[in-house]
Structure 1
Amino acid sequence: MITALVVLSLIVCMVLALVLFGQQDALLAAHHRIRAATPWLALVQLAAIAALWLAWPWLVDRLRTRWPEDARAALLAARHRICIGLLLVELVVVLGLPFNLL
């Protein structure tokens, strides 16, 4: 959490420095590069969700000594719901799918 906060504050400081020193062209170029990389990054995130879905039983089995059996069964049963939820968040928030079609 602290690492994410530090990285975010560094990004904000860099953007403010670029704006204050009149380097809007650099910001525009970075924006175009990020926009061009968005489909590839979305594919990486979708692949990570697919890997989680495939590795879910193995990950739950690793919790055998720490969690009771009924909790493990509930986690195994929730596999599809959690991965579909992650997929929907990816499509709506990251790709903005229904809103980009308008």
Structure 2
Amino acid sequence: MGTYGALAALGDPTRRLIFERLTAGPLAVGELAAQLPVSRPAVSQHLKVLKEARLVRDEAVGTRRVYRVDPAGVRELRDYFDDIWAQALAAFARAVEEET
């Protein structure tokens, strides 16, 4: 899915909220659903999208699936924003130099 898939996944407010909750630590689907105004099946669907976008990963813990932020996917997203920021700063520096 890549960076654009991750951005699209985070474009949904509920998925963004789920992702933000997981930045505080791993949670099971039921724990997430208890904190949100959506059903457990809806949380599962949102987690599936976040997992496909490589923003979260899951593991079996007993009979539950526990989700956590996927550092590799977040690193890709951060690298993308770092590149955009570097380009913006370079463009700003060029604009300043052209004015002087």
Greater RCO, CA 8 A, separation 6+: 2
| More strand as a share of residues | 2
Q: What is the TM-score with the length of structure 1 in the denominator?
A: 0.33
Q: What is the TM-score with the length of structure 2 in the denominator?
A: 0.33
| More helix as a share of residues | 1
